[in-house]
Structure 1
Amino acid sequence: MKRLITAALAATATLGLLTTAPASADPLDDFRHQALSWRSCDDPRLDPAGAQCADVTVPVDYSDPGGATMTVAISRLPATDPAQRRGVMLSNPGGPGGPGLDFVVDIRGGMTPEVAARYDLIGLDPRGIGRSTPVNCRWQEGFWTQSAGLDAADFAASTVRQAELAARCATTEGARLRHITTRNTARDMDLIRSVLGEDRISYYGTSYGTYLGAVYTQLFGDRADHFVLDSAVDPERYGATDLLRDMGPANEAAFDLWAAWAAAHADEYRFGTDRFAVREFIQAMVRRAKDRPIRIGEFTVDQHSLPNILFAGLDDPRKYPMLAGQLRQLADAADGATVTPDPQLAATLAFMLKAEPRDLSTATAVLCGDAATPRDPAWYWRNIEDSRADQPLFGAFTNNITPCAFWAPPAEPKTVVDNAVPSLIVQSTGDTRTTYPGALGMHRALRGSRLVTLPDVPIHWIYGNYPNDCVSAAVNTYLLDGTLPATDLTCRDEAGSGAVR
């Protein structure tokens, strides 16, 4: 009997150990404790800067972490003074679809030495992009964005093209596309935080990266430290339709600024001697490109693709000479001259028309996977026609139908951003990509934010990219010790028209 009682007591004690120390209830526990293998990045910008790279394994579907996995490539540029190190700062350069491993070099360039001492800068190629496990729809062209053209026949052709792009993605990538989303990239960021052994992360994002940062604050607000959102998206209007439609008026206004600049250089570029003449010259080029597409080198530019070139050159006034030079080459080719495009124009055309070096199918997957869009082509055609009067160059471009109209429905609802996590938003009033009203929308959604405004400059991405001591001081002060401006702040442009000659 004594032996039976002893055995029973031992069994009870063992059972108690089993019930009080269960296996981890965290389904991501194995992911959180993975060991990273840091190595040379084999990158001409990262290696000289002293960065290293690693791959982080993440679940494809966070609702099924035991299922398929993929990798997210990250870089690390260490804090310059380990004794002052505050933590890590993750980052995103925009897109969606932009690779970001080397973005840390740009961010470090905007920092004062005191701020650079505080943070390990972490770049990443988000899921599906770059050196991460890639999404590749095998498109034959890079941009899915294009103008709807000049008439109903042009729009019909564009609609067929967008449907074909969506079908190619569904065929080549299948169900995995549903998990290439901003919410999952935010989850990847938090998993990276955990793998790096950090309680919280700081963050710098520009363009689409501001939306990614805002989604992170919504999902993981208690783990957000210092968040800087540069050139911000309105989270309420984020998606493949409203986001693009908001760009139309801003790009028409920026085109007029460029046209005035080109008119002042009429002797060199020969588009006209005032901005009205320049505008008419370029609009006539688009009409001519429909009747006779422009052959330049190995490329053909038509009424669908020419507005893309304009759009690409209007996000920074320092690009005005480049854009004028490109359009001069195209105008000469349209007149019948044999023109070899310069390397910069050739690279732009290769990306837009031939998917070299990559296409933007990942960007499409993110946009279409984040938010549902209208599916009726007639809805888009009405918007295009309504926009032509006051957006003659960009209305048919920013209101055109997209592959999202033919995409599978999103796997999750669109994220509603509404929180009081402190953050700093910086924005120019003339931004052609993420418009100033969008930044005001982000400011409303992030109730703990402060807004720094740079007026009268058509610049997209300010900190570390466009010289302004006031903006830089506001960002660096916040990153140094968390001090936000007491109120929203307006910074005046120091470079002004002197930035372009």
Structure 2
Amino acid sequence: MKTKRAKRNVILIAAAAAILGPTVPLTATASTPVTPKPLEWAKCEGSGLDPRQECATVHVPMDYSDPGGKKIGIAVSRIPSEKPTVRRGALLLIAGGPGGGSLDEISGKGQKLPQEVRNAYDLIGFDPRGVGRSAPVSCGLDSGDLVRSKYFPWPAPDGSVTESMVTARRVADACERNGGELMRHISSADNARDIDRIRAALGERKLSAWGLSYGSYVGAVYGQLFPHRTDRFVLDSNLDGNGDRVHGQVGRALWAGFEAGVEDVFPEFAKWASAPGEYHLADTAAEVRPLFLRLAARLDREPIPWPGANTAELNGNVLRQAMVDAFYDPEGFPALAQLILAAQKGTVPPAPEPPPEALMQNALAVTHATTCNDSEWPESSAQYQKEVDQSRAKYPLTAGMPRNATACAAWPYPLKQDPVRITDRGPSTILLVQNKRDPAAPLSGARNLRAALGKRAVMVTVDSTGHDAYLGNGNACGDRTVTRYLATGERPARDTYCGGASGRTP
């Protein structure tokens, strides 16, 4: 059954087809050669940056179906190659999110790159459209909707999605009221087109990239839209680029991945938490899971006041969200164990410091716009309730959250185009690096992306836990494999597995 939004799309597409054609114009516009103005590099704003980092602005169409219309500025940064005599080209860092930027990451994460990589490339960062210093947007959300356990769509303790649907409508209304015209034009495909404008402005015939998490998906989309402009592409902590097998929708797949991802990581946490020591939760790993589920259910019934916390109380969903957050990096295990131990006694640890509100407003506006504009979402509360009930039964740790309604259930803007389908058409320039146990980008989703790319890609699976594999929570074998590819172009002949100890431990 088509949603109301889909029915609106039929009318809009029919009206536009006579002038634009159904899908060709956006692709053709993206592929049309652009002669950019030379970039005007200047010292970057901000503190703690590498003194070599410089910044510029690339002007791009706000709406790629109207390339002669209004322009927005995309903030771009650069640290030149440290050995110009061996310089190969430009390496773009594509941040996760949606809602994250890499403008200053070239002075942070970029400086962790091995010397041979920093010699081979100019390091390039950017804030995607709507983010940071690239025409930032905000929905002006109520402070309560900024709480992490609220914008992650956790159902009510009994599994009801009624309040989630109310929140979805409130957030979508705020985005429509306060977000401005750009909110209609923030999507993964638009991000990929902006990247190609950045490539052209840099004067590069081809571009190399390191895309992390959501950035891996943007990198895959770029490789699909502009396959012959890819040099060496590393996609790290990969999302299922064509949507989960239940829905086939990219936006929903981003959330759905938490089901398998959390299940993949929990046994590692349980094993760690059953070892003797300060954070000992149980005598055996098998006891940790029921302990956690019982505690979450108790907190659903009897929340504990939490003075100073933006949640005001420690309830079951706050505990579940703390679990998800801790699983991104094994170094978060102790904080989760501390929270569990305190809650068992009816107490709470010191309240965590929330991120700055302006940063949250910006990041959430871009998150909502990207996931809602990327693909169709159901509008029926009955549909969400059915899927949440099924998810809660199969994946009790995540309690239905990955299948619940977000603002996309009430998103006011019609879908402009179908999601970009990732295929095996194009040159073989991609290396996927993927941790075996990743809470947000599970191995199962990465394997789906790998299968879709066919001979265009090779995947290295790393026997490690956490999100962010290369130079993060991976291991030395995986790091060497990625570094070798970026520095020399040498890539494994076939998919490979990197066993051994994790790169980081609690």
Q: TM-score range by the shorter chain?
A: 0.7 to 0.9
1:417 aligned residue (417, 422, 435)? 422
For residues 45-91 of structure 1, what are the alpha-carbon distances to aligned partners after superposition, in whole Å with 9 as ceiling and x for unaligned? 4334x211222221110111222221111111111011111111112
For residue 286 of structure 1, the aligned residue among 284, 296, 299 is 296
Matched residue, 2:327:
314
Partner secondary structure for residue 464 of structure 1: helix
1:5 is matched with none
> What per-residue deviation string (whole Å, max 9, x for no partner) do you get for residues 297-347 of structure 1?
322243443322211111222321132234445555xx256x532xxx223
**Residue in structure 1 matched with residue 272 of structure 2 by the alignment:** 261
**1: distance between equivalents of 2:359 and 2:230?**
37
Structure 1 residues 424 and 166: alpha-carbon distance in aligned structure 2, compared to 1, 3 A threshold = same
Cα distance in structure 2, aligned partners of 1:31 and 1:421: 22
Q: SS at 1:70's partner residue?
A: strand
Identity %: 33
CA deviations on 1:458-496 (whole Å, 9 max, x unpaired) are 221111213522212211221123222111111112337
Residue 219 of structure 1 pairs with residue 222 of structure 2 = no
1:42 to 45, 56, 75: 45
SS at match of 1:388: helix
Q: Is the 8 A contact 2:98 2:363 kept in 1?
A: no
| 8 Å CA contact retained: 2:237, 2:433 | yes
2:265 alignment partner, SS class: helix
> Does structure 2 retain, via aligned residues, the 8 Å contact 1:147–1:305?
no
The 10-residue stretch of structure 1 (396-405 or 110-119) with the greater mean CA deviation from structure 2: 110-119
The whole-number CA distance in structure 2 between the counterparts of 1:463 and 1:276 is 31
**In structure 2, which of residues 200, 209, 233 is the aligned counterpart of residue 203 of structure 1?**
209
Please tell me whether residue 451 in structure 1 is matched to residue 464 in structure 2. no
CA apart distance, 1:106:
4.8
Q: 1:443 to 1:70 in 2, by over 3 A?
A: same
Moved more, 30-39 or 192-201: 30-39
> For residues 59-138 of structure 1, what are the structure 2 equivalents within 5 Å?
59-138=61-140
Q: How does 1:90-489 map to 2 (within 5 A)?
A: 90-139=92-141, 140=143, 141-142=145-146, 143=148, 144-152=151-159, 154-237=160-243, 239-265=250-276, 268-269=278-279, 271-299=281-309, 300-301=312-313, 302-329=315-342, 335=346, 340-341=350-351, 345-347=352-354, 356=360, 358-407=362-411, 408-418=413-423, 419-422=425-428, 423-447=430-454, 448-455=456-463, 457-466=464-473, 468-489=475-496
Aligned to 2:17: none
Residues 199/84 of structure 1: CA separation in 2 closer, same or farther (3 Å cut):
same
Q: How large is the Cα RMSD of the aligned pairs?
A: 2.7
Instruction: Report the residue type matching 2:301 in the other structure.
Output: D
**Deviation of residue 451 (structure 1)?**
0.8
Assess if the C-alpha contact under 8 Å between 1:106 and 1:464 holds in 2.
no
* Superposition deviation, residue 262 in structure 1: 1.8
Contact 1:146 1:307 in 2 (8 A): no
Q: Distance in 1 between the 2:281 and 2:30 partners? A: 62
Distance 2:203 2:258 in 1: 40
Check conservation: 2:459, 2:496, Cα contact below 8 A: yes
Structure 1 residue 28: Cα displacement:
11
Q: Report if the CA contact (8 A) 1:147-1:400 is conserved.
A: yes
**TM-score scaled to structure 1, two decimals?**
0.85
User: Deviation digits for residues 327-381 of structure 1, max 9, x if unmatched?
Assistant: 445555xx256x532xxx2237x77xx9757541211111111111222111221
Q: Whose radius of gyration is greater, 1 or 2?
A: 1
Which consecutive residues of structure 1, in runs of 5 or more, have no partner in the other structure? Answer: 1-24
What code does the residue aligned with 2:332 have?
K
Partner residue in 2 for 1:3: none
